[in-house]
Chains A and B, each alone.
Chain A
Amino acid sequence: MSTAQVAVTTKKDWSSDQEVRWCPGCGDYGILLAVQTLMPDLGIAPENTVFISGIGCSSRFPYYMNTYGMHSIHGRAPAIATGVAVARPDLDVWVITGDGDGLSIGGNHLIHALRRNVNLNILLFNNRIYGLTKGQFSPTSPVGKVTKSTPMGSIDPPFNPLSVALGAEASFVARTHDLDRKHMMETFRAAHDHHGSSFVEIYQNCNVFNDGQFDEVTKKQARDEMMINLVHGEPITFGADQQRAVAMGVDGQLRLVERADVAAEDILVHDANRHDPSLAFALARLSHDDHSPTPFGVFRDIQRPEYAGAVADQVMAASERKGPGDLEGLLRSNGTWTVD
């Protein structure tokens, strides 16, 4: 990352002149506002920032950012962004994707970008529905979901996006939601500051095809009891009076407990930097439905070698060992003979 002085910017500098065309009331507006508001605080320049998206409602996002950007093909944004990052490790590269784009048609690229640990900030807008194609179930829709393509209810078991990311060895995994700009900004900032692939699932409401999908968890009046805020180094507690907590049972399973029922030292202390992903995985799977307390925040934030930097290091090491490329020498490298 360059330490050169970056000119002070405002939200306006990060907003393009294009008319935003999401449906009125869409959760995407809140996410766009959070990103545009955050960017001036990151100490980076719009010209050194690239937003790459796939296809879907969320993937229109780059058009609204006054940065370099590409609205690419369904599912392929992580691969294209990997190319940008490998070519130019100096850039700040963001991937905007959705549950269909990232976890269905583009699942392969997503897991491999995470596995390689390319320095990308991947924001997955999860609305559990195909919005742009007007309402089919997605790979995160619950079983039984009635949609145009599943009139008798979906029989597809859904993915848990965080479990997928952790299974793919993601080094940074977080969850936030579209109704809390402050939490989004904190989470995106942490994702940006992480060197390597950052994966952020954003619970996002589609008010047209899947309205209220996350209401039981993220609505203001539900949050105290239903949202578990993960803070690194702190005991995991929640509830209006922090009266509930997460503890590990003797079988190794995480459980929701009443704080009064357990000793203070039995309450799980959140450790996002723990290399072993099993606790992050257990936290990611704490909630199996939309009616139980759900963790938010940074689940995992560990350091491991970043891919684009490693590619650049090999190029540099080869240059140091062999000197600059010599084309004439290359053409003669397999042995030659001369005809007079």
Chain B
Amino acid sequence: MTDTIDRPEADGDDVGEHVLDHLIIRFAGDSGDGMQLTGDRFTSVSASFGNDLSTLPDFPAEIRAPAGTVNGVSAFQVNIADHKITTPGDEPNVLVAMNPAALMADLHRLEPGGTVIVNEDAFEERNLDKAGYKVNPLDDDSLAHYRVLKVPMTSLTKEICAPLGVKPRDAERSKNFFALGLVSFMYTRPVEPTLGWIAEKFGGNEQVEAANKAAFLAGFNFGETTEAVGHRYEVKPAKLPAGTYTSITGNTALAWGIVAAGQLAKLPITLGSYPITPASDILHELSKHKHFGIRTVQAEDEIAAIGMALGAAFAGHLGVTTTSGPGVALKSETTSLAVSIELPLLLVDIQRGGPSTGLPTKTEASDLNIALYGRHGEAPLPVVAAYTPAQCFHAAIEAIRIALKYRTPVILLSDGYLANGSEPWNLPDVDTLPDISVPFTTEPNHVDDEGNEDFWPYLRDETTLARPWAIPGTPGLMHRVGGLEKKDGTGNIDYTPENHERMVHLRAAKIEAIANDIPPTEINGDPDADVLVLGWGSTWAAIDAAIQRSRRVGKSVASAHLMHLNPLPPDLGDILKGFKRVIIPELNMGQLTTLIRGTYLVDAQCLSKVQGMPFKSREIEAAIDEALASISSSNDNPNGATS
């Protein structure tokens, strides 16, 4: 992905009287208030309107935490813009708070002077108490520094729904559409797509359909007729590169990448998966596409899930298993077997906050170590990391390409932020996608001493070092594989010391050689800059925004982003040594940083964040500033290269 910023990103100031260049809205409410749906609708409408956008769903681990509490707050942040953007924004311009708990949880995120839209009806004693407010914040001066719109959304919704014969309790549930209608007016979103969507979604239930439509229009009209709402703002369509776009989340893109890889490899797919947040959506998505020759099995556990995928790979399918961190731990033993029997396999890890159950619905990128090292014995395997929601599609194809070509399990890392976040995707021409098919072996590959043809399952391809993939049903090529050490070539059980050492080295050499089959590192910015920000995974968005802004004001900084984490690109060491400072922002305690320091003896510094939230671009800009300041004060180059 080569995203570029076409025009300067303003900081929320009006660039015309009623025109904004971007807008960050955060919808926050109780888990039962439908905030994810509301945010999703606002996003969809903005996408088809032509804005560039980026989203951040932020919801609790509990399906319904106690109503009205801060723990139960579910939020959806979306950044829409008239130019290319990469992040859901550091600080929302607008906070929609459906109850006191939402205000309590999210007010601190709002930009100074930002707009707060509250559902006034919810600010009654019981809710205030549950949220931890001693005094109603709408009554004292605690919101004095914000523009506050107090709207009795619940009662207005009930009122508009009463003539429709909707029960008050059911009517109340439509108040999120009132909120959506109001912001749709305030920020000039088209009405028809949402009305159409309501009709499609709730068409089976006339009352609900009517209530939601009525609430949505009531919210819109409230904006139009209420003076307090003031200016109507607009965010014009972005000047995005020409193409056909869709709005896509990382998990959907990743699932579609797997579907595509099956087509490109001309292989049927078997997915073994066990439900786990935030990976389950991939299982759901792939289960919908059986007509692509996809078999999905919801296994009895994580271990069975990868076992099924490996069994399918042995039988000639593209074997895939999807999970999150705890599942990776459970799959470790089978992953090692896959390394040993050298069969293609894709293991997808949608990372979340850990250890253990940790923060199941929040993002983190702390499984790099388990991906790289989390197996017994010497068991190297390729690791690929996706870095934007849409790019998950290409990352899945690339991971599967490597798995098939080199007959190896590959771990593909994504995370909760990419998984649930969405962005517009300029759809690729499917005819330009790579052919990743590999032939099965169908003929004997060896002649024994007596001149008889036979099959050696571990006789390797000289260039890739991959062993032949001969599948059941092929006459004459019957063979056994297993976890015991195999004799180089024949694959028969062999415990001799020299053979084991040779096999350990061969398996490692096969993976190391993949370095020659991956693209060179791309430098975003001036290769002669002082500071390099090196990233991997979902930090791309915040890094890119920070780099663009820093470079615009003349700071000497560039960035590079790693999609291949094992093996690393062969040119990386030399690139790193050319910079005076290397910063590695990571949503962990420095897992890549340690690897980079150990591999290249470069004094890379980690910018660590483990709050279950992605980086803000400002946080990365601050680290860049600090690095630049340290150069001017010391004037040295710790990496030893000429400056």
Contact = CB atoms under 8 A, between A and B. Distances in A.
Indicate, yes or no, whether A interacts with B: yes
Interface of A: 16, 18, 45-50, 52, 55, 62-63, 65-73, 76, 79-88, 90-91, 108-109, 112, 311-312, 314-315, 317-319, 321-325, 327-328, 330-332, 334-340
Contacts of B307: 72-73, 76, 79-80, 82-83, 109
6 contacts: A68-B478, A73-B307, A86-B270, A86-B308, A330-B259, A335-B48
Contacts of B47: 337
A50 to B, nearest CB: 5
Contacts of B484: 71
B50 interface: yes
Contact of B315 (A83, A334, A339): A83
B483 A71 contact: yes
B263 to A, nearest CB: 5
Nearest to B247: A334
A315 B294 contact: yes
Contact of B303 (A76, A327, A338): A76
Nearest to B433: A327
B404 to A, nearest CB: 15
Contacts of B475: 45, 47
B570 interface: no
A333 B139 CA distance: 48
B290 A318 contact: yes
B300 A109 contact: yes
B268 interface: yes
B297 A82 contact: yes
A323 B482 contact: no
Given A18-B492, A73-B334, A112-B299, 13 more contacts: A47-B473, A68-B479, A70-B482, A71-B481, A83-B297, A83-B315, A87-B268, A90-B473, A315-B290, A321-B291, A332-B244, A336-B246, A337-B48
A83 B295 CA distance: 10
A311 B295 contact: yes
Contact of A327 (B260, B304, B479, B492): B260
A208 to B, nearest CB: 20
Interface stretch (B173-181, B235-243, B359-367, B587-595): B235-243
Interface centre among B289, B303, B315, B474 (most CB of A within 10 A): B315
A85 B315 CA distance: 8
B443 to A, nearest CB: 13
Contact of B270 (A68, A72, A83, A337): A83
Contacts of A325: 259, 263, 289, 291-293
Contacts of A330: 256, 259, 289, 292
Contacts of A70: 311, 314, 341, 480-482
Interface of B: 44, 47-48, 50, 240-248, 252, 256, 259-260, 263, 268, 270, 272, 289-295, 297, 299-301, 303-305, 307-317, 319, 333-334, 337, 341, 426-428, 430, 471-484, 492-493
B300 A80 contact: no
Nearest to B241: A339
A49 B311 CA distance: 14
A47 B308 contact: no
Given A91-B472, A335-B48, A82 B311 contact: yes
Contacts of A323: 291
Interface centre among B337, B427, B478 (most CB of A within 10 A): B478
Contact of A322 (B291, B303, B312): B291
A129 B292 CA distance: 47
A83 B472 contact: no
Contacts of B426: 339
Nearest to A64: B480
Contacts, number: 209
B245 A332 contact: no
A84 B294 contact: no
Contacts of A45: 475
B472 A47 contact: yes
Nearest to A315: B290
B290 A319 contact: yes
A70 B208 CA distance: 56
B292 A79 contact: no
A25 to B, nearest CB: 22
B303 A16 contact: no
B273 to A, nearest CB: 12
A79 B311 contact: yes
A18 B486 CA distance: 13
B242 A66 contact: no
B483 A84 contact: no
A15 B299 CA distance: 33
A16 B48 CA distance: 63
B436 to A, nearest CB: 13
Given A334-B252, A338-B243, A47 B476 contact: yes
A335 B308 CA distance: 34
Contact of B304 (A66, A85, A112, A314): A112
Interface centre among A69, A82, A112 (most CB of B within 10 A): A82
A335 B256 contact: no
A48 B427 CA distance: 42
A81 B291 contact: no
A315 B295 contact: yes
A84 B482 contact: no
A193 B222 CA distance: 72
B337 A73 contact: yes
A332 B293 CA distance: 19
Contacts of B333: 73, 76
Interface centre among B272, B295, B309, B313 (most CB of A within 10 A): B295
A330 to B, nearest CB: 6
A257 B262 CA distance: 62
Q: Can you list the 4 inter-chain pairs with the closest CB atoms, starting with the nearest?
A: A83-B311, A71-B482, A325-B292, A79-B307
Given A82-B304, A324-B291, A91 B315 contact: yes
A156 B292 CA distance: 49
Nearest to B472: A68
A69 B480 contact: yes
Contacts of A109: 300, 303-304, 307
Contacts of A336: 244-246, 427
Contact of B240 (A69, A82, A339): A339
B302 to A, nearest CB: 10
